[in-house]
Amino acid sequence: MNPTTTQGSGGLSNLVVRPLFERDLDRADRIYRTAFGTFLGAPEPEKFFGDVELVRTRWRADPAAAFGAELDGTLVGSNFLTNWGSVGFFGPLTVQPEHWDRGIARRLLEPTMDLFASWKTQHVGLLTFAESPKHVGLYQNFGFWPRYLIAALSAPVVPPERAVSYTKFSEVASHDRAGATGDVRELTSAVFDGLDITREFDAVLDQKLGETVLIYEASGLQAMAVCHIGPGTEAGSGMCYVKFGAARPGRKAAGSFGRLIDACQDLAATAGASVVSAGVNLGREQAYTALRQRGFRHEYQGVSMHRPNQPAYDKRNCYVIDDWR
Ligand SMILES: CC(C)(COP(=O)(O)OP(=O)(O)OC[C@H]1O[C@@H](n2cnc3c(N)ncnc32)[C@H](O)[C@@H]1OP(=O)(O)O)[C@@H](O)C(=O)NCCC(=O)NCCS
């Protein structure tokens, strides 16, 4: 992407939107914390999210999928894209609070949407604040439509009563990894055609963010989950965050999903975490209900916005965990 300079609204004489570089990460991280902390009224906004890490980990996962907005030579905002094959989402999108409402997020969203188009992403989504007319309005301008609530849920870590058998991707022999990755692509494509979250495996493995669990039966892969664990990841201290989980669709899906939750609980307990968190779109009624029945409670909730205005895998019988945060 070529940097673009704009004569924007609100007195922006020299705004450049460009790729985000490694040298930007400390400032981008500070803006990310300060922006959310300010919006949510935190007493020390710059410390918001504690030791949770998203900016550096997402940039390292795909440095070409992040944009920065620079005003008069200073970074004032950034956005990160996630490419899950036929599905994509973006965030965290943040702008330094003193520059809000000057059109900077809008400028960051222009190359964002161009990049999704170049990836040929069929279904683009995001999680945002349902109660904020500004947020919903900003994204509506780019063709997104609000659909269901997304709940960020959490439950205390309770080691499963019965032994649960699962494979850790990090322990799969390197010559077998391509096969396991192919199994996961096949499973997620059965959930939604072309959905491919295997980049998350690489991020977790390369950056040591946690673990990917795979549940095989004689008939093949039945369920899988990518988990971030501990400080410096999307989970934070004491937490195991299920960034993505899915059970193979079909009559055994509910049982496989239950085993997947057991496996995540077991993984979390082994890693010394005290809380498991997992987000789910309420359009996935059965997955949401299963989590609630297993003791998960809402931490917070937002709204999913979709382009096009279609459910993708937010369907009643889709046993999928993710929250596009
Ligand atoms: C959300 C955030 C990124 C927006 O950045 P920004 O630079 O202030 O946004 P912009 O000025 O580019 O755009 C604001 C849009 O909201 C629209 N808007 C504001 N109030 C509105 C309302 N009541 N109804 C409808 N639209 C509204 C504006 O019209 C503008 O759209 P336009 O450019 O088409 O006119 C920024 O406020 C932020 O960092 N917030 C904290 C972190 C956060 O919430 N991130 C996003 C999480 S999904």
- Identify whether the C-beta of residue 289 lies closer than 8 Å to the C-beta of residue 321: no
> Candidates 100, 102, 134: which one to mutate for ligand 1, based on the most atoms within 8 Å of Cβ?
134
Distance 105 CA to ligand 1 centre (A): 7
- Identify whether the C-beta of residue 265 lies closer than 8 Å to the C-beta of residue 154: no
Angle between helix 253-271 and 285-293 (nearest 10): 50
Kindly state whether residues 159 and 272 are assigned to the same domain.
yes
pLDDT tens digits, one per residue of 156-206 = 999 888 889 999 999 999 999 999 999 999 999 999 999 999 999 999 999
Kindly state whether residues 51 and 186 are assigned to the same domain.
no
Kindly state whether residues 203 and 61 are assigned to the same domain.
no
Kindly state whether residues 104 and 158 are assigned to the same domain.
no
Q: Is the CB of 302 under 6 A from ligand 1?
A: no
- Let me know if residue 137 belongs to a domain: no
- DSSP code, position 313: T
pLDDT tens digits, one per residue of 3-48 = 655 544 456 779 999 999 999 999 999 999 999 999 999 999 999 9
- Let me know if residue 148 belongs to a domain: no
> Candidates 33, 101, 113: which one to mutate for ligand 1, based on the most atoms within 8 Å of Cβ?
101
The pair of three-digit structure tokens given for residue 225, joined into one six-digit string: 């989950």
Q: Is the CB of 104 under 6 A from ligand 1?
A: yes
Identify the domain containing residue 48 by its residue range: 4-121
Q: What integer pLDDT is reported at residue 11 of this predicted model?
A: 60
Selection from 179, 184, 224, 177 nearest residue 205 by Cα: 177
Q: How many domains does the chain have?
A: 2
Ligand 1, residue 100: give the atom nearest the CA.
8
Domain CATH for 269: 3.40.630.30
Kindly state whether residues 178 and 61 are assigned to the same domain.
no
Q: What integer pLDDT is reported at residue 163 of this predicted model?
A: 87
Phi, psi of 34 (to 5 degrees): -65, -40
